[in-house]
């Protein structure tokens, strides 16, 4: 019975992210550079449900996909006239490959075999590698994301003010900017809320001579994993095209030709 919650959580993660993956692959309208990044993130989250949860492993690299989406939103706001020429499928593919390579490297570094402390989880066997892994897997991307978001917020606010002062459509554009900025804030906020407690815990744990109770670490680990459930909602359910695609998949309309 103890395995039932893990199984249900795993199925929930897999179903949500499979909807995102199938939608982007099947519908040509969703074949855009930004959605390819969402596809990459959905694949990573799917692996959490397929591999990580069943085998009780630790996944600590999802921040890189969050950072990609934030960088492209930054380019779209701060360099709008050059966005479509600079951010193309080739650039997106390269960024995705770099993200997966860096993520795998960090994962191997954190979870690789260590000497000593045989009864402890490999994640905590070496204080230096644990803290270094946390810095590069979470803290550094989180700081960069926060700085970029503040820049986006400032530029979007200035653009909205400028448009309001020069055109009659200022209210509409301002509303669009606010919605996009709010969506980005939700994306970042959910990610940071889910993963910050766990990474703070694993950073402090070796420094306090492993005195943090295991149930506390496990609770924060589950909170981090829950980000893989929220991502399909945050990235997809905010957009009408994804909602329509989900309905077509769930109701089986994609098997009816047109």
Domain boundaries, the chain: 3-255
Length of the chain: 258
3-state secondary structure of 55: coil
Q: What ranges make up the beta strands (E) of the chain? A: none
Quick one: angle between helices 63-78 and 89-111, nearest 10?
150
Rounded distance, CA 49 to CA 45, Å?
A: 7
pLDDT tens sequence for the chain (258 residues): 446 777 888 889 999 999 999 999 999 888 888 788 888 888 888 988 887 776 654 444 455 556 666 666 666 656 555 556 666 777 778 877 887 787 777 666 655 555 444 444 444 555 676 777 788 778 888 888 888 888 877 777 776 677 666 655 545 555 655 666 677 778 788 888 999 999 999 888 888 888 888 889 889 988 988 888 888 887 676 777 888 888 899 888 888 766
The DSSP call for residue 137 is I
The owner of tokens 């703070």 is 200
The number of beta carbons lying within 10 Å of the beta carbon of residue 200 is 14
Please give the pLDDT value at position 126. 59
Q: What percent of the chain has pLDDT over 70?
A: 65
Contact of 69 with 38, CB cutoff 8 Å: yes
Rounded distance, CA 17 to CA 235, Å?
A: 10
Rounded distance, CA 90 to CA 67, Å?
A: 18
Rounded distance, CA 50 to CA 45, Å?
A: 9
Please give the pLDDT value at position 23. 92
- In terms of pTM, does the model score above 0.85? no
How would you class 41 by CB atoms within 10 Å of its CB: exposed for 0-12, middle for 13-18, buried for 19 or more? Answer: buried
**CA 212, 213, 214: angle at the middle one, nearest 5?**
115
Question: 3-255, what's its fold?
Answer: Rhopdopsin 7-helix transmembrane proteins (1.20.1070)
The two tokens of residue 44 are 């990573």
């Amino acid at each position: 019975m103890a395995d039932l919650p893990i199984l249900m959580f795993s199925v929930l993660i897999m179903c949500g992210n499979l909807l995102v993956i199938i939608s982007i692959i099947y519908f040509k309208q969703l074949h855009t550079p930004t959605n390819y990044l969402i596809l990459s993130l959905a694949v990573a989250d799917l692996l959490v449900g397929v591999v990580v949860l069943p085998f009780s492993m630790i996944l600590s690299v999802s921040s890189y996909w969050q950072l990609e989406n934030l960088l492209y939103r930054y380019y779209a706001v701060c360099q709008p006239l050059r966005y479509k020429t600079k951010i193309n499928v080739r650039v997106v593919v390269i960024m995705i490959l770099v993200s997966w390579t860096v993520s795998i490297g960090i994962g191997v570094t954190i979870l690789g075999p260590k000497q000593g402390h045989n009864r402890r989880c490999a994640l905590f066997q070496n204080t230096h590698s644990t803290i270094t892994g946390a810095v590069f897997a979470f803290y550094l991307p989180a700081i960069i994301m926060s700085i970029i978001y503040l820049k986006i917020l400032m530029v979007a606010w200035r653009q909205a003010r400028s448009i309001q002062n020069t055109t009659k459509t200022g209210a509409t554009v301002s509303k669009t900017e606010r919605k996009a900025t709010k969506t980005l804030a939700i994306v970042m906020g959910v990610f940071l809320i889910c993963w910050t407690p766990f990474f703070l815990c694993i950073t402090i744990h070796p420094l306090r001579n492993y005195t943090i109770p295991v149930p506390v670490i496990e609770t924060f680990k589950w909170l981090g994993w829950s980000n893989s459930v929220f991502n399909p909602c945050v990235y997809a359910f905010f957009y009408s095209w994804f909602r329509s695609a989900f309905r077509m998949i769930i109701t089986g309309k994609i098997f009816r030709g047109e």
